[in-house]
Amino acid sequence: MKMNIDRTVFAFAGAMTITSLLLSYFVHPAWLLLAAFVGLNMFQAAFTGFCPLAILLKKMGFMPGEAFK
């Protein structure tokens, strides 16, 4: 299965959220700010269609999906 931009963005957001939760548990609770940032970015991207990671992935040649064209 080939990863398109949408799937890659979702996978990256999930990985960053899990990383943030692990770092907040093992290092310092302030790492929860990373999870908040990821969540807020996903929320605004749902309404505006603007996602910096999607733009970067498109320039890198990833196949576009339905959400970020």
Q: Where are the domains of the chain?
A: 5-59
Handedness of CA 24, 22, 19, 6 (dihedral sign): negative
User: Above 90 in pLDDT, residue 68?
Assistant: no
| Confidence band of 1 (pLDDT split at 50, 70, 90) | low
Report the chain's mean pLDDT, rounded to a whole number. 94
In this prediction, residues 3-31 reach a mean pLDDT of: 97
**CA gap 39, 64 in Å, rounded:** 22
In this prediction, residues 13-35 reach a mean pLDDT of: 98
**CA gap 33, 20 in Å, rounded:** 8
User: Above 80 in pLDDT, residue 58?
Assistant: yes
Q: What is the crossing angle of helices 32-48 and 5-26, to 10°?
A: 160
Residue 59: the pLDDT is: 96
